[in-house]
Amino acid sequence: MGFMRDVEIVWDDLLDAFDNPGSDLAYFLDRETGEIFAVPVDYDDDEFWRDMEESGERFLPIPGFDYEQERLLLHEFIRRLENESLKGMLARTFEGKKPYGRLDEILSFYPEEFDRFMALKEEMISERVRRWLEENDLFAAEDDDEF
């Protein structure tokens, strides 16, 4: 490693890959072209997976938005809430398991909070993407002021 590759990576595609819940698709970044592609995790082609392994560090697996990331996001969102009754309701609701479907229902009654939640999610994912790019010695193309 040791050197930075300046390949053209489409920021929005990278955000989408990081936003992937990680269940049935595996996302990869081609370090040489900057292309991002998805493959079903149960893709039944041994030759394809062998080629991926033998390519060394060319194809980088992209981590999805898993349960742990979701909990982190929810915790941060609830912590920042100023509406105390909503804060209490969400805190109680998410002491259980899989939070996501319920959150959309609850926040549908609080459109401003829903917008804040989506903004926070994008902010957290963007931060993860930046760290991931740095850890893997890559830079994203600066196609807008976001980076």
- Return d(Cα 93, Cα 90) in angstroms, integer: 5
Q: E-strand spans in the chain?
A: 25-30, 36-40, 59-62
Q: What is the pLDDT of residue 145?
A: 44
Q: What is the pLDDT of residue 144?
A: 46
Q: What is the pLDDT of residue 124?
A: 93
The domain ranges of the chain are: 11-64, 67-125
List residues bridging with 62 in a β-sheet. 27
- Give the ranges where 21-66 is alpha helix by DSSP (H): 46-54
The two three-digit tokens of residue 78, written as one number? 């609830």
Taking CB atoms within 8 Å and a gap of at least 24, the contacts of 66-69 are 66/21, 66/22, 67/98, 69/124, 69/128
pTM assigned to the model = 0.76
Q: What is the pLDDT of residue 147?
A: 41
- Return d(Cα 89, Cα 119) in angstroms, integer: 21
CB-count burial class (<10 Å; 0-12, 13-18, 19+) for 94: buried
Q: What is the pLDDT of residue 47?
A: 93
Mean pLDDT by 10 residues, the chain (147 residues): 63 90 85 92 91 89 86 91 89 65 82 94 93 84 47
